[in-house]
A and B are shown apart, each in its own frame.
Chain A
């Protein structure tokens, strides 16, 4: 895959925390204008890869190219300009506990658009909340919300600036089916607009609904990455094992993947 068509590219990246090595010399290219899903067993470093790709964590060695430029090569203004066009939903929502729900969603808008009037900001905030299906909890603190609602607020915060790229770390965890459906519909719509989504999930139904590309990770290594139809046909026993284990873990939601696997058969 050439650089021009990659949204983010990790080159020979090594990352460890303290004495624990997460991955070594890992390379991965994430395509632009597509929805790439990272799957793998828990604790294999999916979230860390996502944060490294988004430039939130710097690896100990190797380089990370995002939007044709290394994160480290950008100065502060350039970084802010890129951040204005990206959104990130954290696994634990990571809402600012000392701000209300409204302030949480407002802050990216206020920061990137100081020229906006309060009315404009409120309009955009309410639109984002409506898109993700957030109920009226404007003046509550995040700690008063359920994890699912916190995820919605986090999602609204990520999309309020109308980003070009979304990084989603397990966005549907803790959501009921109705809200999950609404989020998936939003992601599909977002992708249809030609924007990029990089998504980490363990949920096969999410993968089946939105993935264009699929990357399978295990023990700090990318086993396979490519269009989902190609990946599900992989003969690599480790890939097959992970896909099967994912299927067994999520037996009740397996219909989509089964359908997908069936579709993949020649």
Chain B
């Protein structure tokens, strides 16, 4: 049975109109979802008696297991910066390299690269897992015993990804800056006290808070985009790859946009 009667092909305007309507509806749905997640997060400790274990496993998977790849990227980034930074004549500026280190590692690429890795690992995993749970009616099974899927499934992922994102960004910074110090010892030895005091002088509260805020919001974006898309599945397992691809596309796009907005917001 079809809901639509046998009408003519809709005009371009009508198609745009319905697309705009759908986009608005989706946005409202996304904000409603976010609001629900926030409410449930607020009640997480009191309501979700069995969600803590899910949270622990989520942090283990998103945070601890991603530590190696994050460290690897941070070390290579720190190495590259200190290598090129040492080619800047000291007469130009003795501490320009520290400014570059802080700008690239702490303010910009640290949070963004960490977010890309987390999106590629955990965002994909969450979207896949949740959409396959919808398809196999596991979500309904949670509903049937009274467990709210948002508080039991989304909130631990939301908290886990966000906490892991913040922690991973800190580890990224630590390993990137420490690696650049170690590499500097081979190129142009600097005493540790000199290196770290110069670094600390360049490391402003603005840079640190920008970095932490970025990782916090990136974590929120990744967990929400992937779980929201995961729940969009309906009936068929063939929907899952489509959903995952859409989640990754939306996730990466949003991360880049949010990164620019936050950088601008903190520049003023």
Mark contacts of A62-81 with chain B using CB atoms, 8 A cut-off: 1 yes-contact digit, 0 otherwise.
Answer: 00000000000000100110
B136–A21 touching, CB < 8 Å: no
Closest to A79 in B: B146
B49–A114 touching, CB < 8 Å: yes
A240 proximal to B (CB < 8 A) = no
**Residue in contact with A76 in the complex, picked from B137, B145, B148, CB distance below 8 Å:** B148
Leading 7 A-B pairs by shortest Cβ distance = A83-B146, A88-B144, A94-B137, A21-B1, A108-B145, A80-B146, A94-B141
Closest to A158 in B: B144
Binds B, one of A12-20, A182-190, A222-230: A12-20
A86 proximal to B (CB < 8 A) = yes
Between B1, B137, B145, the greatest number of chain A beta carbons within 10 A of the residue's beta carbon is seen for: B145
Mark contacts of B1-13 with chain A using CB atoms, 8 A cut-off: 1 yes-contact digit, 0 otherwise.
Answer: 1111000000000
Closest to B139 in A: A94
B143–A56 touching, CB < 8 Å: yes
B167 proximal to A (CB < 8 A) = no
**Residues of B that sit less than 8 Å from A by CB:** 1-4, 49-50, 129, 132-133, 136-138, 140-148, 234
Chain B interface, >50% SS class: loop
B138–A97 touching, CB < 8 Å: yes
B74 to chain A, nearest CB (A): 31
B140–A107 touching, CB < 8 Å: no
Between B4, B140, B141, the greatest number of chain A beta carbons within 10 A of the residue's beta carbon is seen for: B141
Name 16 A/B residue pairs within 8 A (Cβ), A-sorted: A16-B3, A19-B2, A20-B2, A21-B2, A54-B144, A55-B143, A83-B144, A83-B145, A94-B136, A95-B138, A96-B138, A97-B138, A107-B50, A108-B145, A108-B146, A112-B145
Contacts of A220 in B (CB 8 A): 1
Contacts of A18 in B (CB 8 A): 234
Contacts of A20 in B (CB 8 A): 1-3
B136–A107 touching, CB < 8 Å: no
Closest to B147 in A: A111
Q: In the complex, A82→B146 CA distance in Å?
A: 8
A110–B148 touching, CB < 8 Å: no
Q: 17 more A-B contacts (CB under 8 A) besides A16-B3, A56-B143?
A: A18-B234, A21-B1, A21-B2, A76-B148, A83-B145, A87-B144, A88-B141, A90-B144, A92-B137, A94-B140, A96-B133, A97-B138, A111-B49, A111-B50, A114-B49, A157-B145, A158-B144
B1–A111 touching, CB < 8 Å: no
Contacts of A110 in B (CB 8 A): 49-50
A195 proximal to B (CB < 8 A) = no
A209 proximal to B (CB < 8 A) = no
Contacts of B145 in A (CB 8 A): 83, 88, 107-108, 111-112, 157, 161
Contacts of B136 in A (CB 8 A): 92, 94, 97
A222 to chain B, nearest CB (A): 16
Contacts of B49 in A (CB 8 A): 110-111, 114
A215 proximal to B (CB < 8 A) = no
Q: In the complex, A17→B234 CA distance in Å?
A: 9
B50–A56 touching, CB < 8 Å: no
B50–A95 touching, CB < 8 Å: no
Contacts of B132 in A (CB 8 A): 97
Contacts of A90 in B (CB 8 A): 137, 140-141, 144
Q: In the complex, A80→B144 CA distance in Å?
A: 9
Q: In the complex, A107→B138 CA distance in Å?
A: 13
Q: In the complex, A233→B130 CA distance in Å?
A: 47
Mark contacts of A1-32 with chain B using CB atoms, 8 A cut-off: 1 yes-contact digit, 0 otherwise.
Answer: 00000000000000011111100000000000
Closest to B145 in A: A108
Mark contacts of A146-174 with chain B using CB atoms, 8 A cut-off: 1 yes-contact digit, 0 otherwise.
Answer: 00000000000110010000010000000
B144–A56 touching, CB < 8 Å: yes
B144–A86 touching, CB < 8 Å: yes
Contacts of A94 in B (CB 8 A): 136-138, 140-141
Q: In the complex, A18→B143 CA distance in Å?
A: 22
Q: In the complex, A215→B137 CA distance in Å?
A: 25
A51 proximal to B (CB < 8 A) = yes
Q: In the complex, A90→B1 CA distance in Å?
A: 26
Q: In the complex, A110→B147 CA distance in Å?
A: 11
**Residue in contact with B141 in the complex, picked from A86, A95, A112, A114, CB distance below 8 Å:** A95
Q: In the complex, A197→B143 CA distance in Å?
A: 19
Closest to B54 in A: A98
B4–A19 touching, CB < 8 Å: yes
Contacts of A19 in B (CB 8 A): 2-4
A84 proximal to B (CB < 8 A) = yes
Contacts of A16 in B (CB 8 A): 3
A48 to chain B, nearest CB (A): 11
Contacts of B143 in A (CB 8 A): 55-56
